[in-house]
Amino acid sequence: MTAIPRAFARLTLDFLLPLRCVSCTSTVGTPDSLCPDCWQKMSFMEKPWCERLGTPFSYDVGEGAWSPQAIASPPIFDRLRSVAFYDGPARDLVVALKFFRRRELARPMGLWMCRTGSEILREDSLIVPVPLHWMRLLSRRFNQSADLARVIARECGGQFEPGLLKRRKKTRRQVGLSAKARQKNVRSAFCIDPERIGQIQGRHVVLIDDVITTGSTIAVCSKTLLSAGAASVDVLTFAFADTSNRSGSASPDEP
């Protein structure tokens, strides 16, 4: 098709099927994008940030600095990177993907995660989604974290490994539970597929989830991967819920 008919076809298509903002119903000029209003409402996590937790600093304290939270309670994983705080359109996108099955959102969300996680994603990384229990997978029919991980591996390199980390017991929702109850809830909840344990030895793992809330699940997944022989674990999530009682630490009583 030559340029003029192609442009005409595009105009016709835009008229019939206008491109929509991925978060609201406003029309936008480019596919898989946010409208200016939603863009403004996104609380992006940007540099300067804590080297360990990816939480922004209000002023630049130099490359590699740790936040007081990371110093007080160092996470068991190496680095966490998240695209945005879990509010406004970022929260709407997480909810739409997970509960309203808008699986087409995994692509734009995954691409944003690629950009935010560029420092932690490597060609030889194992890209491992936080697994769902099979009963929840049966009712939801898909794992939103696996959808994101698939996009990230395809677009940024790395090896998509959806079956390596398994969930062996169904856990209650973590929100609202005390720190002790959360640890009890997720203890021994995850394991590595015994037939594939050799694949993880000495490898760099990037653990993928849609949102980090309390941090308990991510901490236990990281510990499971490291205990099985992973050389290092970094974490990449789309959203970051700013909770004061996060538990991503490697303290002795961590499950």
**For binding to Zn ion (CB under 5 A), which residues are involved?**
21, 23-24, 26, 35, 38
**CB of 133 closer than 8 Å to CB of 167:** yes
| Smallest separation, CB 39 to Zn ion (Å) | 8
Q: Which is nearer to Zn ion, 21 or 93 (CB)?
A: 21
Name every residue whose Cβ is closer than 8 Å to that of residue 72 and which is 6 or more positions away in sequence: none
Q: Which amino acid is at 2?
A: T
Q: Quote the least distance from Cβ 118 to Zn ion, whole Å.
A: 25
Q: Measure the CA–CA gap between 4 and 101, rounded to whole angstroms.
A: 37
Task: Please list the alpha-helical segments (H only) found in the chain.
Answer: 3-16, 36-41, 68-72, 88-99, 106-116, 134-140, 144-156, 179-186, 216-227
The residue (of 23 and 183) whose beta carbon lies closer to Zn ion is: 23
Q: Which is nearer to Zn ion, 111 or 137 (CB)?
A: 111
Nearer to Zn ion, 26 or 69 (CB): 26
Task: Give alpha helix (H) positions in 61-143.
Answer: 68-72, 88-99, 106-116, 134-140
Task: Tell me 55's DSSP state.
Answer: P
In angstroms, what is the minimal distance from the CB of 116 to Zn ion? 20
Neighbours of 43 (CB within 10 A): 18
Q: From the CB of 28, what's the least distance to Zn ion, in Å? A: 7
Nearer to Zn ion, 19 or 24 (CB): 24
Q: Which residues, including other chains, have CB under 8 Å from residue 3's CB and lie 6 or more apart?
A: none
**Smallest gap, in angstroms, from Cβ of residue 240 to Zn ion?**
21
Beta-bridge partner residues of 128: 207
Which is nearer to Zn ion, 26 or 67 (by Cβ)? 26
Q: How far is the CB of 23 from Zn ion (least distance, A)?
A: 5
